Structure formats: structure tokens, C-alpha cells
Structure 1
Amino acid sequence: MAPLKSLEPEYPIIDVNFQNFCASHAIFSVEDFVLHDLYQLAAFAEQQPTSERLKEGITQVLNIIDNLHQPWLNGLELLEDSLQNKQVLSTGFEGVDLLLQGGLREGQLTELVGPSSSGKTQFCLQTAANVAVKNMGYVAYLDTGNSFSPQRIAHFVGQISESAFNQTKQKIIQKAMSSILCHSVFDIFSMFDVLRQLEFDLRSQMDRGEYRVPLLIVDSISSLISPVLGGSGSQGRALMISAGFLLKKLAHEYNLAVLVTNHTVGGEGGLAKPALGESWKSVPHVRLFLSRNRGSNICNMSILKHPSMASGKVADFQIEL
């Protein structure tokens, strides 16, 4: 969804006066409308000299929101889209790729759940390196905790291109590193801004065949969402669902494989379970659980949820300490 200002060229009713009225009620984007009490907003509009035009603007934004819903697609159309447009991206971990029948699928939001120090960030870094080296396009990497390490990325790229001659290997490393676009985000509103800009770039540049981003990584999504879930209000939950909707929309419309990480919290009987609660549970297409024995470099990955595979399947793989 877009900032209100960006809608003005196509919808003149959403002019500066309307934008200023909305800004006075902390509404700056289409998402903000979803979270706002629209009856109250309409009541405030009634008190303004240009009330009729303001109410027309509110109606226009609501129409835009309605048009965001995807049309019905039949099973054959969905199958053709999956076979023709959605590739599978290798993670670079043989055991994981075997488990997932090739790796991360474009068009899907995959959530990697695991406790602290289980290897989630390293999995993200090596997957980014592998996609970049295979020249599949750019990798968009949203770093929420200063955990992105260009040195580790360069190391992984070097390992992947180990068989190349030194001069060629250096070129591979340089090209791969320039293909990984990292952006630091520290709150959910900054993430929305970055994702809106990414969507704008994808829409404008993919039409010309100049730009391809097969992989989007958010490490970690839970560190952005958890702070807004506190309290008894519903705003935090609405923001969480909006974030999930936007990530899945990007995955589907622009053929991205979206990988997000999530931490764990204590569950029944002391067993670890994914954070963010039941409302988030239905958002990812795929949920994977990652664990690692303390002091060991052997990780265990199991399928918690998958649209085409049975839950409970497990794979072991090795990471570098």
C-alpha cells in the first residue's frame, strides 16, 4: 500500500488539502486508514469548510483499498502461475534444499523460527550469498538488529566460488556483494517505508526488464512486530497483519521468495514455540523450525507448516561456528 501523497497524480481528489487533513489525524498512508476509526474521521471531516470534498477523498481511499483485493483465480491458473513464474532458490545448504524439494519457492513467504544462537542469521546470510553468486538477481536484505555481516557474506561467496581461478573468484565476489542490497530498519514503520519503495522500484523497473529481486530477507520480523503488540488495543495486531499482507503481496505479484526470521517464546510444558501468537501463525506459507545443540555446528530443521509437504519432516545440516 502507498503513501497518500503518491496517489495524488492518479486521484486528484487526494490533494494537499486532503493530505493535510489526514496528517492532522496521524494518517499518512493507505495502511493508516485501515487502522483508523473511519466513522470518527468522517465526523471530523463534517466540521471542515470543505467537508464534502474531504468525504469524497475518504470514499476514494476506501475504493483503493477495495481494489487491492486479488480477483478469484481457478486452480489451473494458479498451477500455471506456479510452474511458469515461480522458481525455487537454492539455500546453499544441501540438507535443507533436499527437505524443501529444491529450496525457497518464489511467491511464498517462508518463516524461519528458532531460539537465540540457533543459526537463523547465518542461514539468511548464506542463502543471500548463494542466490547472489548464482546470478539470479538482487537480494533485498532488511537488517533489524545490526546482525548483517558483509565479511561473512564475502566469506560465504568465496567458499561457493572456491573452484574458480583467483582473478575470476575476486570478480565473482565483487559482483555478488554488489547484488546484495542491505537496509537497516529498526521499527515497523521504517519497514513499511522500505517495502513501499521496493514495490515502487519493482513495478517501474521490472516493466522494462531492468531489475529482478528474487529474494527478500527480513531478519528479524519479530523484533519489529513485538514492540507494537503490547497493550490491550488492536492497533499492534492490525500493523502485524498489514505487514504480513504486504510481504505476501510482494511475493506473489513480483515472484519473490520472502524469508523472515522469528524468535521463540516459552510454551506449554516449557517447550519453545514461535513468537507473535496465533494471529501471525496463519500468515506465512511455510514455517520452519531451526535448532542447534549448544557448542555444535550441526543444525536441525523441521517443517512446522508447508502447503505441499507433511509437517514433521526433518533435515540436518552444518553451519560454521
Structure 2
Amino acid sequence: MDQMTPSAEDDLDLEVFDPYTQAVLLKGGLLTTKHIFQYTEAELQKKFNLTAAATRRVFIEASKISTSNVNSGRYKEPHNQVLTTGCDHIDKALGGGLFKYGITEISGESGCGKTQFCLQIALTVQLPLSFKGAKSGAVYICTEDRFPSSRIQQMISNLRFKYQCDNRIDMSELCQTNYGDNILISHIATVEDLKKCIHEMLPKALLHRSIKLIVIDSITAVFRGEYTLSEAPRRSRDLRDLAFCLHNLSVKHGLWIICVNQVTSSMSDITGKKLVPSLGLSWANLVTTRLLMSKTPCSRYIEVIFSPHSGPTSVPFVVTEQGIESLN
């Protein structure tokens, strides 16, 4: 199991918390960033009976330590804890890149670049460690459209132009990797098939293949159409069950998990123009990092809505033959 070994640099400073929170953290053995990031904020708050404000403070302090360790290069391990998105400015907005453990959601309206982002991550996870990759494969679960094979091949053919370094060994490894063969593709049409894939097929694949990324594109497609209004509680339970399984796989195997979500009109906006991620609060509480993509006639944007590793920010980008690139 690929997990970082806790060290003094990972320890929480208990003195910054109130006495009750200190006691909870001590009793629960929640003394390092690794222990904290096993949970979503909602899970931590409920399981250890913390207030929302106290839980948020714990995650903020843990993220400060985690980000500091990444930026200072303290993590020395066989696999990186932070995965590059393939764009330096987006990495910076995320506090260094995509962090292991938990669920990263990418939402946005149709055609704004969500699948392009996921395809790029399916390639960066295969990059050598020196490129902030993980030298591992990916599982790509499609629930809406067929996997865009021609587009991924176009991006693969441009990798040697997108990533450059002076180390001949690293460049040789980058060019010789068989990127297409390292992406396991599954097409899913129903909630039951998705459950079976996550609960049965994925654990088996993880035991026999070097996989560090799971992409579900999208989580919305199967959950939006199979439930009536009266079945909303069952939908919430199924979403929660699926998310908990993904969280557990993430922690056990050291994975990055990306779930694509669609958007819907905000009920609080009478104009109907404000778009918010679908699936409601029951899903939002299970997400670790939420990213929102949008587009205008002139540009596209990726916005950090919330994350334990960085504050809200926005990065303009374009989609090229090589993939996603920032305009900064």
C-alpha cells in the first residue's frame, strides 16, 4: 500500500485548537495530516461530534501543513503525494496540484472542458515522478459518451512537446511510455453497474495493475435519471455509499479520484442564470475538493470553489492540441 510515512512535519499543532477539539483529536488519534484527510469534513464532523467551525479549522490547519511540506519538498517517497494537472498555473491555484486521498469534483456546463481536463490527468498520472506524475495507470469510467479515443491519441502525440526537461533518461521514459495501454476504460449505463464496478471490479484491478487514478465521467448521468422525487432519500444513500467506497479505495491504495458533475440552475437565483453543481447537498458534503469550469465567448475558466489545500481562485485557460493550457 502506497502511503506516506507520518513524520514530525505532518503533526498537527494541537495548541491552536480549543480544549474540546484538542481532546477529540487526541482521543480519536487524529494527530497527523494523513489521519485528517482520511475523512471529508462532513464525515469528520459527524463521527467525532465537532462543530462545523471546529472541523473547518482542523482542515485548514492540516492543509497548511500539507501544502508547506509539498512546497518545501519534504515528502520523499516512491510516489508523489501531489499530481500535476499539466498546467503550472492550475497547479498553483490548487496549492501544488491534485492531492491524494478524497474526491475531487470537476463540474461545469456542457462543452466547457471537463472531459479535456480528465483526459489530461489520465496522462499526467503516467508521467515520470520528476514531472510530478505517478508513473502509474488510470481507470476511466464513462457514463455519458463513448471514450474519446481519437482525442486522447492527439494529446499523446503532443506529450513530448508539452513536457520538456534536460534529463535524457526522464525524456526517454516520457517518450517510451505506452500511454494508451495504461488507461483501462469502462462504459457504464446504470447505477447498479456503477456500484458493481466500484465495489467489485475496481478492487480486483487495483490488486493486479499499477493504477493511481480513477475518473468517473460523469457521476451525474446515472444518478440523475434513475430516481423519482419520492426516491430522493434512496438516491442520497446510494451516493453516500458510492462516495464512501471511493474514499476508502483512495486511502487504502493511495489514489487520486476525479468525479465529473453537471450543473443546474440555482434555486436561489430568480433569473435562472446562476449555475451550481448538480446532485445537491448530500453529494457536496462527500466531496473533498470542488472545481467549477465555465466559459465565455472569449475564454474558459476553472475555479476552485473549496479545497482543504487552497483558497477560492480562478484561472483562465484554453484547450489546444496539447491539452489544457492557462492564459496567464
Find 1:225's aligned residue among 204, 223, 226: 223
- Residue 321 of structure 2 corresponds to residue 317 of structure 1: no
Where do residues 141-290 of structure 1 align in structure 2 (5 Å cutoff)? 141-162=140-161, 172=175, 175-195=178-198, 196-202=200-206, 204-205=207-208, 211-233=209-231, 234-267=233-266, 268-269=268-269, 270=272, 271-290=274-293
Question: Is the CA contact 1:142–1:183 (under 8 Å) kept in the aligned structure 2?
Answer: yes
Question: Is the CA contact 2:84–2:98 (under 8 Å) kept in the aligned structure 1?
Answer: yes
- Residue 31 of structure 2 corresponds to residue 75 of structure 1: yes
CA distance in 2, matches of 1:131, 1:225: 27
1:101-144 alpha-carbon deviations (Å, 9 max, x no partner) = 23211112100010111110111112212222446211110011
Aligned letter for 2:264? V
1:68-94 alpha-carbon deviations (Å, 9 max, x no partner) = xxx944223726997567611111122
CA distance in 1, matches of 2:254, 2:173: 30
Find 1:124's aligned residue among 118, 125, 134: 118
Aligned letter for 2:315? A
In structure 1, the residue matched to 2:85 is 91
Aligned letter for 1:175? N
CA distance in 2, matches of 1:77, 1:302: 25
Q: Give the secondary structure class of the aligned counterpart of 2:320.
A: coil
Aligned letter for 1:246? C
Q: What is the TM-score normalised by the length of structure 1?
A: 0.67
Q: CA deviation at 1:283?
A: 0.6
Higher RCO (CA-CA < 8 Å; seq separation 6+): 2
Question: Is the CA contact 1:133–1:172 (under 8 Å) kept in the aligned structure 2?
Answer: no
Q: Give the secondary structure class of the aligned counterpart of 1:318.
A: strand
Provide closer, same or farther for how the CA distance between residues 230 and 320 of structure 1 changes in structure 2, counting only shifts above 3 A.
Answer: farther
Find 1:113's aligned residue among 107, 111, 122: 107
Provide closer, same or farther for how the CA distance between residues 291 and 169 of structure 1 changes in structure 2, counting only shifts above 3 A.
Answer: farther
Name stretches of at least 5 consecutive residues in structure 2 with no aligned partner: 1-26, 38-65, 67-74, 129-133, 322-328
CA distance in 1, matches of 2:142, 2:151: 14
The alignment covers a number of residue pairs equal to 240
Q: Give the secondary structure class of the aligned counterpart of 1:141.
A: strand
Q: Give the secondary structure class of the aligned counterpart of 2:287.
A: coil
CA distance in 1, matches of 2:87, 2:121: 8
- Residue 304 of structure 2 corresponds to residue 303 of structure 1: yes
CA distance in 2, matches of 1:75, 1:170: 38
Runs of 4+ residues deviating >3 angstroms: 79-86, 168-174
Aligned letter for 1:252? V
Q: CA deviation at 1:170?
A: 12
1:123-181 alpha-carbon deviations (Å, 9 max, x no partner) = 1112212222446211110011124212111111221213699xx99994761111111
Q: Give the secondary structure class of the aligned counterpart of 2:290.
A: strand
CA distance in 2, matches of 1:313, 1:171: 31
CA distance in 2, matches of 1:149, 1:276: 25
CA distance in 1, matches of 2:275, 2:243: 22
Name stretches of at least 5 consecutive residues in structure 1 with no aligned partner: 1-70, 206-210
CA distance in 1, matches of 2:154, 2:236: 39
Aligned letter for 1:266? S
Identity, in percent, stands at: 23
Aligned letter for 1:146? D
RMSD over aligned CA atoms reads 2.8
CA distance in 2, matches of 1:145, 1:73: 42
1:38-84 alpha-carbon deviations (Å, 9 max, x no partner) = xxxxxxxxxxxxxxxxxxxxxxxxxxxxxxxxx94422372699756
1:241-296 alpha-carbon deviations (Å, 9 max, x no partner) = 111111111111111100111011001222111100111110110001111124x4
Aligned letter for 1:74? L
1:164-222 alpha-carbon deviations (Å, 9 max, x no partner) = 99xx99994761111111111111211111122111332x44xxxxx321111000011
CA distance in 2, matches of 1:213, 1:170: 18
